[in-house]
Amino acid sequence: MTVAVVALFGAVHLAWGEAGDAVSGPMAYRDRLYDVAYADANVAVAIGYPGKIFRSEDGGTTWSEVAVDTAEPLFSIDFVDGNTGWIVGRSGLIFRTDDGGKTWTKQISNTDGHLFAVDFLNKEKGIAVGNFGLILRTADGGVTWTESSLEPMISASMYDVQIIDENIVYLAGEYPTWEAQLEEDVEASTLSSIFKSPDGGETWERVKIPSENHMFALSFSDEMTGYIAGTKGVLMETKDGGETWTSIDTEIPYHINDIFRSDDGSLMMAGNAGVLARLFDEKVTRIPNDAFYWLTAVAMNNAGRGVAVGNHGLIMITRDGGKTWR
């Protein structure tokens, strides 16, 4: 079974035919793609529902389906080099690849909680996060995982995680305001959905932000400098490790579901209603496109190529660093 890229309404969708035949009719894959990541300058892997993995060897132009032993949704993918990567999903699913995404081996998580995001610092150290404050940590490449939580904030759902170094880790998600207000020592102005660990994920502290928006994504270039994004087009920047935050006016009324910071300093945003936007030199530019489905994730490589994925098997690609998409 092969995958072909078919244009529809100006966007790119996945379709496949038997025995290598291209498909030009209705799309065969119409479900949601949740995440995408580059293993190297050419290899990209997209994941979704139900238990779908698609792999590209030309930066995102053409795709082939990869077999995996699950029909559960796969939510997040991360590569540390051209060969080694992880996928997490529903009911505690964790898979690892050592051949650039050609094959995937299931790892034992010892949890049935849903895992929404995963990030690895290197081949050994990684963190996966999910619903009800679930946090899994590994120091041996996923052979074993240690479970912890954001107690007492057990209702927090974490949607993104980034390991900065051996000590600093950031989380982004949503923390129900009604529950937080039950804590007598918490003022409404201090409620946030960003958390920071100073010790590699053993303990966590809530980061104060001047917003009650739920945060879906974060991207840090180092311990001090980073962005967070979420509901209603909110985008915020910190330059002091989360002590203070500056709001950036995106003029986007829709949720921003993912952000990706490139080496040139630009920040790509993907969101509901086909939103694609680029922040560069403190200016946000909406990227015109014909997509109208939700975009759930975006990834860029160092060669100026990029892929954005979303609902109904939607895939969009860029070849100029995110300035234009098709």
Residue 173 has pLDDT above 50, yes or no: yes
Answer whether 147's CB lies under 8 Å from 201's CB: no
Task: Give the percent of the chain with pLDDT over 90.
Answer: 70
Side by side, the strands of the sheet bearing 295-300 are: 2-8, 11-17, 314-318, 306-310, 295-300
Q: Which domains does the chain have, with CATH numbers?
A: 30-318 (2.130.10.10)
Residue 291: what pLDDT? Answer: 78
Residue 246 has pLDDT above 50, yes or no: yes
Q: Predicted confidence band at 192 (pLDDT cuts at 50, 70, 90)?
A: low
Report the run of H or E that residue 46 belongs to, with start and end: strand 44-48
Least confident range of 12-16, 216-220, 260-264: 12-16
Length of the chain as a residue count: 326
DSSP 172-224: EEE--HHHHTTSTT--GGG--SEEEESSTTSS-EEEP-S----EEEEEESSSS
Residue 22 has pLDDT above 60, yes or no: no
What gap in Å lies between CA 192 and CA 21, rounded to an integer? 50
Answer whether 95's CB lies under 8 Å from 68's CB: yes
Q: Calculate the alpha carbon distances from 256 to 98, 295, 296, 311 in Å.
A: 32, 9, 8, 14
What gap in Å lies between CA 72 and CA 106, rounded to an integer? 13
Residue 154: what pLDDT? Answer: 61
Q: Predicted confidence band at 11 (pLDDT cuts at 50, 70, 90)?
A: very low
118-169 residue pLDDT tens:
999 999 999 999 998 899 999 999 999 999 877 666 677 899 999 999 999 9
- The residues with which 172 forms a beta bridge, in sequence order, are 160, 194
Residue 242: what pLDDT? Answer: 93
Answer whether 134's CB lies under 8 Å from 153's CB: no
